């Protein structure tokens, strides 16, 4: 995996350009292999238990709890606190935790109190998208390491601030794209780097998920036990609706980013990784719409985005389909990479196949599960070593893969092709002001994204 390791070191270096590199450079020590080491006076030794708070426990947070506790003895870690604005969920998960693990776990409705607790070393974020960046930045400021679910950000500007915070406060911020820790997918990327299918010029990301009609439940009274102000956080505080809490916020722009910014982040991340691009594209176009349901979703059910890298002569295609569809060589959620000698198909998080030449002769393949456990273990290893260079999902990759999805959504919402400066990370050309206004958002007080982290 030496080529992949070299690529990661190059990635960590090049992606800092244009993202406050000057502010963080003094915190980076170059080793003999040019790998950045994060310096910290509070590094955890192998015998020190890492105590973790899990924020957001409705869906994905349950997996965080399970994975951390699965590694409890091996990695010397534990879930110490469960946090969620919904006290009803907290009580339910606390009981499940005690029944399953034979011990009690603390619960806290306001995660900010947990951030003030010096006995908490790290946080795992499975909250809605609109909270990810601010909770990550505040955690870094509080001296906590972070595992943040995809997408790392709700908009492009947030990614820059997350990178600044991680470096300024010497924190290990791991992006929850577990396929980066999959032995099979890492092997697949090594094949791409080594030229198995020749020069790789195009990648496709596929998200064909079953997304039914969610109807429109209308406005309702805030349920007893839910701190709805805290749930909304930096986003607008709309009248409460079951259309939002707890899962369908994904389909509303104020809180989610559609499926390209949900499941799709795994695929946007792999598109860039396998294609070997370490910056955002120069040209973006996206179109689609709602063709099936007359429900309250704001995001498109069908969406196709194109990301063009003219200088590298590479292109990314991304497709979201939400209902009955064919699979692409067996991949309904995954990636396809095209080269001059063949193509490589990634299915899900743990399987790849290759097909070579005009006759599509089968080449190397592999399937191996366990990537989520390995991804958490990699986070713990990086925490103990205080070393960003050994992370499989560093904060920079979280910024780029999430931003790729955001760029597609901006093009879709504006209804036109956009030109982008990947160094300044700003739109240029016709309509640039309108597009640049969508790089960030207005934040609701007191949940403000700090300009100086």
Please determine, for residue 353, whether its predicted confidence score (pLDDT) is greater than 80: yes
Please determine, for residue 276, whether its predicted confidence score (pLDDT) is greater than 90: yes
The whole-number pLDDT of residue 249 equals 98
pTM surpassing 0.85?
A: yes
Please determine, for residue 18, whether its predicted confidence score (pLDDT) is greater than 60: no
Please determine, for residue 158, whether its predicted confidence score (pLDDT) is greater than 80: yes
Please determine, for residue 228, whether its predicted confidence score (pLDDT) is greater than 80: yes
- Sign, Cα dihedral of 182, 84, 154, 79: negative
Strand-pair partners of 30: 36
Please determine, for residue 26, whether its predicted confidence score (pLDDT) is greater than 60: no
The whole-number pLDDT of residue 11 equals 43
Please determine, for residue 29, whether its predicted confidence score (pLDDT) is greater than 70: no
Please determine, for residue 25, whether its predicted confidence score (pLDDT) is greater than 50: no
Measured CA to CA in angstroms, residue 94 lies from 8, 30, 87, 112, 123 at distances of 39, 44, 10, 19, 17
Grade residue 46 by pLDDT with cuts at 50, 70 and 90.
low
Instruction: Give pLDDT tens digits for 85-95.
Output: 999 999 999 99
The whole-number pLDDT of residue 42 equals 52
Same fold, 2-180+372-396 and 182-214+246-368+402-436: no
Class of domain 182-214+246-368+402-436: alpha beta
Torsion of CA 122, 126, 128, 130, to 10 degrees: 30
The whole-number pLDDT of residue 432 equals 95
Please determine, for residue 319, whether its predicted confidence score (pLDDT) is greater than 60: yes
Give Dmax over CA atoms of the chain in angstroms.
62
The whole-number pLDDT of residue 44 equals 66
Please determine, for residue 22, whether its predicted confidence score (pLDDT) is greater than 60: no
Class of domain 2-180+372-396: alpha beta
Instruction: Give pLDDT tens digits for 168-225.
Output: 999 999 999 999 999 999 999 999 999 999 999 999 999 999 999 999 999 999 999 9
The whole-number pLDDT of residue 209 equals 96
Instruction: Give pLDDT tens digits for 402-436.
Output: 999 999 999 999 999 999 999 999 999 988 999 99
**Closest to 178 (Cα-Cα) out of 341, 379, 3:** 379
3-state secondary structure the chain: CHHHHHHHHHHHHHCCCCCCHHHHHHHEEECCCCCEEECCCCCCCCCCCEEEEEECCCCHHHHHHHHHHHCHHHHCEEEEEEECCEHHHHHHHHHHHHHHHCCCCEEECCHHHHHCCCCCCEEEECCCHHHHHHHHHHHHHCCCEEEECCCCCCCHHHHHHHHHHHHHCCCCEEECCHHHHCHHHHHHHHHHHHCCCCCEEEEEEEEECCCCCCCCCCECCCCCCECHHHHHCCCCCCCCECCCCCCHHHHCCCCCCCCCCCCHHHHHHHHHHHHCCCCCCCEEEEEEECCCCCCCCCCCCEEEEEEEECCCCEEEEEEEECCCCCCECCECEEEEEEECCEEEEEECCCEEEEEECCCCEEEEEEECCCHHHHHHHHHHHHHHHCCHHHCCCCHHHHHHHHHHHHHHHHHHHHCCCEEEECCCCEEECCCHHHHHCCCCCCCCCCCCCCCCC
Average pLDDT in the 255-259 region?
98
For the chain, domain boundaries: 2-180+372-396, 182-214+246-368+402-436
Mean pLDDT of the chain: 92
**Closest to 200 (Cα-Cα) out of 270, 280, 261, 284:** 270
Please determine, for residue 1, whether its predicted confidence score (pLDDT) is greater than 70: no
The whole-number pLDDT of residue 431 equals 87
């Amino acid at each position: 995996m030496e080529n992949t390791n070299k690529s990661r070191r190059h990635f960590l270096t090049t992606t800092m350009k244009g993202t406050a590199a000057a502010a963080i450079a003094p915190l980076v020590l170059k080793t003999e292999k040019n790998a950045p080491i994060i310096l910290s006076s509070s590094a955890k030794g192998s015998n020190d238990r890492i105590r973790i708070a899990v924020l957001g426990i409705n869906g994905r947070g349950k997996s965080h709890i399970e994975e951390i506790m699965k590694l409890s003895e091996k990695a010397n870690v534990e879930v110490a606190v469960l946090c969620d604005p919904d006290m009803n969920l907290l009580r339910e998960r606390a009981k499940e935790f005690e029944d399953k693990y034979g011990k009690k776990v603390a619960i806290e409705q306001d995660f900010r109190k947990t951030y003030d607790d010096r006995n908490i070393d790290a946080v795992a974020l499975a909250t809605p998208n609109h909270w990810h960046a601010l909770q990550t930045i505040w955690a870094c400021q509080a001296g906590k390491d972070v595992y943040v679910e995809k997408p790392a950000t709700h908009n492009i500007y947030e990614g820059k601030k997350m990178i600044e915070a991680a470096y300024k406060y010497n924190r290990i911020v791991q992006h929850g794209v577990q396929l980066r820790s999959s032995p099979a997918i890492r092997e697949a990327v090594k094949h791409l780097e080594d030229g198995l299918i020749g020069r790789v010029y195009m990648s496709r990301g596929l998200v064909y998920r079953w997304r039914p009609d969610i109807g429109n439940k209308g406005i309702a009274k805030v349920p007893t036990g839910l701190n709805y102000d805290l749930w909304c956080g930096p986003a607008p505080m709309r009248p409460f609706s079951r259309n939002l809490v707890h899962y369908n916020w994904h389909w509303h722009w104020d809180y989610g980013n559609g499926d390209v910014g949900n499941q799709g982040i795994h695929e946007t991340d792999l598109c860039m990784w396998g294609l070997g691009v370490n910056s955002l594209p120069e040209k973006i176009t996206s179109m689609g719409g709602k063709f099936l349901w007359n429900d309250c979703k704001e995001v498109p059910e069908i969406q196709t985005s194109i990301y063009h890298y003219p200088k590298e002569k590479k292109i990314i295609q991304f497709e979201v389909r939400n209902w009955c569809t064919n699979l692409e060589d067996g991949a309904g959620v995954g990636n396809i990479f095209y080269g001059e000698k063949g193509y490589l198909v990634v299915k899900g998080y743990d399987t790849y196949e290759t097909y070579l030449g005009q006759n599509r002769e089968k080449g190397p393949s592999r399937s191996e599960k366990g990537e989520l456990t390995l991804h958490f273990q990699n986070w713990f290893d990086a925490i103990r070593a205080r070393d960003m260079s050994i992370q499989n999902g560093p904060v920079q990759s979280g910024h780029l893969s999430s931003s790729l999805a955001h760029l597609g959504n901006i093009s879709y919402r504006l209804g036109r092709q956009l030109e982008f400066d990947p160094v300044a990370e700003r739109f240029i050309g016709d309509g640039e002001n309108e597009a640049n206004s969508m790089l960030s958002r207005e934040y609701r007080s007191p949940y403000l994204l700090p300009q100086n982290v």
